Structure 1
């Protein structure tokens, strides 16, 4: 009799666990934020562009000084 009760409890417990309502799955997954990149190339390009600009203005100054002579 004891074995029969234990078997009934096991069957009912298993059935309850199988039929238990789980939390509903999200229909749309949460959007992940992109990690910000520390773009070294962009900073390097910017510094290089500034150097070029400075060189151009220096060359332009020299050319205007030559033209005045």
Structure 2
């Protein structure tokens, strides 16, 4: 199971562990392409992730205003 924070990264928790231990792993997202630009409407309007064929795909886009 994973939770997504579009500003920081993705913490994963192995809820199916056979030895009943909780293991948390963290994957950082890349730094913004243009760190000086403030996204209009928050990060949900400029970053996204998807899981496709078992791989995490990350995109960042810039909407022309």
| TM band (smaller chain) | under 0.3
Higher relative CO (Cα under 8 Å, sequence separation at least 6) belongs to 2
**Greater fraction of residues in helix:** 1
Larger radius of gyration, structure 1 or 2?
Answer: 1
**TM-score, length-normalised on structure 2?**
0.22
**TM-score, length-normalised on structure 1?**
0.21
**Greater fraction of residues in strand:** 2
